[in-house]
Chains A and B, each alone.
Chain A
Amino acid sequence: MSIAVEHISKTFGRFVALDDVSLTVDTGELVALLGPSGSGKTTLLRIIAGLEQPDRGSGPIRFHDEDVAQCNVGDRHVGFVFQHYALFRHMSVFENVAFGLRVRPRKLRPSKAAIKTKVHRLLELVQLDFLANRYPNQLSGGQRQRVALARALAMEPKVLLLDEPFGALDAKVRQELRRWLRRLHEEIHVTSVFVTHDQDEALELADRVLVMNAGRIEQVGTPDEVFHHPRTQFVMNFLGQVNRFHGRLEQGKVHFASLSLDWPNHDSVRTQPAQVFVRPHDCEVDVCRNGHSCFQATVTHVHSAGPNVRLELRAESGESLCAEVSQERYRELGVAVGSQVYIAPREVKVFAGEAG
C-alpha cells in the first residue's frame, strides 16, 4: 500500500515542527526520514500513524488513495515500532505479540488456537520463539526491539512505521539488526517508513532517503543521489564528514583556501560569496606540489586506528580541515604531527551564497 501525505504542517505552541511537508512512499518501498533531532521527522511519522493531529489546513493523508486523515489511530491499521519499544511490561512476550489480535472485535478475532499459531510463527520470524514466556524487562535491547516488531507485524499492517528503530542499541547490535531488518523487508515487503538521525543507517537500509531540517524536507532521493548529489548545503553537511570553506565566486572561478579553481557554472561578473565543501576522502595528500592545484597545510593530529587514517590539518589560510588516506598511503607519505603537506581537492561542491 502506498502512502501520500500533502501539505502537512504542525506547530506546538510557537515551535514549528513541520512546515508544509509533502511526501509519497510507493508500495513495498523502504523510506528513511533522516534529520537531526528537532527536524520534525518523528512528528511526521506520528502524524502518518495518527498519533498526532496535523494543524488545520493541512492536506490529506492517503493510504492507497484513501484519505485516512479523519481516521482513528486504531482504524488506520499501521504497524508502529516505538523508539523505546513501548512493550507492555506486565505482559509476557507472547501476550505482547498477541495483543493486537486479542483486542479485535469478537467477529474479527481469530480463535485462540489461530492466535497461538500466528504468534509463534511471528516469534520464529524474529527468531525469539524461545523467549515467548519472558517479560520485557528480562530481555536485552535487541530482543525487545524484535518483539516490538513482531507485535507490530501481528496485525498484518499495510504500512510499517518505525521511530528510531535502533536508536537505543549499541553499535554492534545495531549493525546486525540493520542487516536483519533489510532481509526481513525483502521477505515480507511491507511499505515501511523509518525515522533515524544516523546517516549510515539511512543510507544502508533505505530505498529512498528523505532528508529533513527544521520542519522542512531538504531533499528526497536514493541514498546515492543524496550522498553524491546533495542539493543543499544542509544535506552536504549532514551526510558524511565534510570540510567547509568560505570562499567566493568570481568570473568563472571559485576561490577558497588560497586556491582558485575553474567554475564554469558561474557566469555572473559580479563577485559572490560561496560555500565550498570537500569530503575528507576527496582530499589528495602529498608531501610536495605534484602539479595539481593544491594548497599547503600542517598536520595537527593523526587518527590511525581504523581502516583509513584521518589527518587533521590546518591550511595555510587558517581553516582547519580533515583528510582521509589509506593506511598504505599514510605509510608512504611518512607524515607526522607538524609535517607540511599539500592538499589537492579531487572533487569540490560549491554553493553560492552565505553559509546556510
Chain B
Amino acid sequence: MATGTATVPTSGAPAQQRVATTEPWLVRGMLTVTALGFLGLFLLMPLVGVFAQALAKGWGVYLQSFRDPDALAAIRLTLFTAAVAVPMSTAFGLAAAWAIGKFQFRGKNVLITLIDLPFTVSPVVAGLVFVLIFGRNGWLGPWLQAHGIQIIYAVPGIVLVTLFVTFPFVARELIPLMQAQGTEEEEAARVLGASGWHTFWRVTLPNVKWALLYGVILCNARAMGEFGAVSVVSGHIRGNTNTMPLQVEILYNDYNFVAAFSIASLLAVLALVTLVLKSVFEWKVARQLALAERIEDAEESLS
C-alpha cells in the first residue's frame, strides 16, 4: 500500500466477512458430525470389518486362503477378464467420446442414451439378455452349439457381460471434457498441417489424458468387482468360471468366512489402490503446472 489512508478502511473487514459468510458453530458442528458419522458407518466400518474378518484367525490362515487352487483360479480369471475387457472398453469409450465431443451428426443424442444404457439396466438383466442371445435355447444358441462354441457358462460370456457393464465408464468421463474443450485446438493442428492421426495423438489425446486414466481406473474397478451380470452367465463352475466376487459368495455360503473375507480383502485393496491412483493423477497435473511456473519465474528473474 502506497498510502496510509488506503489501509484504514480495510482493517475491520476480515472480522465482518467471517460473520457474513459462515454459519453459527452449532450448525457447523452438527453438519460435520453428520458427515463424519456417515463416512464412518458406511465406508470405514465395512472396510475395517473386511480386514478384521479376514485376519480373525491370524496371518497364517489368511495366507492359506490364497493357496487354494479354486481361489487362485478365481483371481486369475478376474485378472484375465479385466485385461481383455478394460482395453476394449477404453478403445470404445475413446472412439465414442471423440465422435460425440468433436463432431456434429444426426442421432447423437440417441447414441449418448445408448451409452448410458448399461448404467440404467440392472446387471442381472444384462446377464439374462446375454443368456437369451447366446444360451443353449437362445437366438444364436443352436448355431453356436453346431460349431462347438460355448459362450454362456464359459469365459467368453463372462468377458462379454463385463464389457457390457463397463463400457460407459471411459466414454462418460471423456464426453463432457471433450465437449468443453471444443474443436479449436484440433482445427489449429489441421491448419498447421497435421494429419488426422497426428492431431488425435498429439492434441486430442494428451488433452484428455488424466480423465482417460481416471475412466480406465473406474472401469477396471467395475470389471474386477462386477457380480450380478457375471453371476448369471458364469454357471459357478469352481476353479473354472468363478471370478473373485463369485468366489467370495461361494465361500461365504460354505460358512468359510476367513477365506471369503480374504478374497474380499483383495477387492478392498483394489478399491483403495483405485482411490490412491486417482488422487495421484490429480496431484500430478497440479504439480506439473506448478513446476513449469517455478522454472519460468527463476528464468525470468535471471533475465
Taking Cβ atoms with an 8 Å cutoff, the residues of A that contact B are 49-51, 73-75, 77-80, 82, 84, 86-92, 99-100, 103-104, 130-131, 133-135, 137-138, 151-152, 154-155
Contacts and interface: CB of A to CB of B under 8 A. Distances in A.
Interface string B118-160: 0000000000000000000000000000000000000000000
20 contacts: A49-B191, A74-B190, A75-B193, A78-B191, A80-B188, A80-B191, A84-B184, A86-B187, A86-B188, A87-B188, A88-B207, A99-B194, A99-B202, A103-B198, A103-B202, A130-B299, A133-B295, A134-B292, A135-B289, A154-B192
Contact of A100 (B193, B206, B292): B193
Given A80-B188, A104-B193, A151-B192, A133 B198 contact: no
Contacts of B202: 99, 103
B293 interface: yes
B7 interface: no
B254 interface: no
Given A86-B184, A134-B292, A138-B293, 6 more contacts: A74-B193, A90-B207, A103-B202, A133-B295, A135-B289, A138-B289
Chain B interface, DSSP helix/strand/loop, else mixed? helix
A241 to B, nearest CB: 34
Interface string B168-204: 0000000000000000110111111111001000110
Contact of B292 (A50, A130, A135): A135
Contacts of A134: 292-293, 296
B23 interface: no
B159 to A, nearest CB: 34
Interface in B213-239: none
B192 A99 contact: yes
Nearest to A80: B191
A78 B191 CA distance: 7
A100 B192 contact: yes
Interface string B276-297: 0000000000000100110110
A130 B194 CA distance: 27
Nearest to B199: A103
Interface residues of B, number: 25
B193 A103 contact: yes
A134 B292 CA distance: 6
Given A130-B300, A133-B295, A74 B187 contact: no
A133 B292 CA distance: 7
A100 B184 CA distance: 15
Contacts of A99: 189, 192, 194, 202
A130 B202 CA distance: 25
Contacts of A87: 185, 188
Contacts of A152: 191-192
B182 to A, nearest CB: 9
Contacts of A154: 192
Contact of A74 (B195, B299, B300): B195
A84 B295 CA distance: 26
A138 B206 contact: no
Chain B CB within 10 A, most for which of A75, A103, A131: A103
Nearest to B302: A130
Nearest to A99: B192
B303 interface: yes
A88 B188 contact: yes
A75 B293 CA distance: 36
A99 B201 CA distance: 13
A103 B192 contact: yes
A73 B289 contact: no
B174 to A, nearest CB: 15
A82 B184 CA distance: 8
A103 B194 contact: yes
A90 B206 CA distance: 7
A73 B187 CA distance: 9
Nearest to B184: A86
Query: 3 shortest A-B CB distances, which residue pairs?
Result: A100-B192, A86-B184, A86-B188
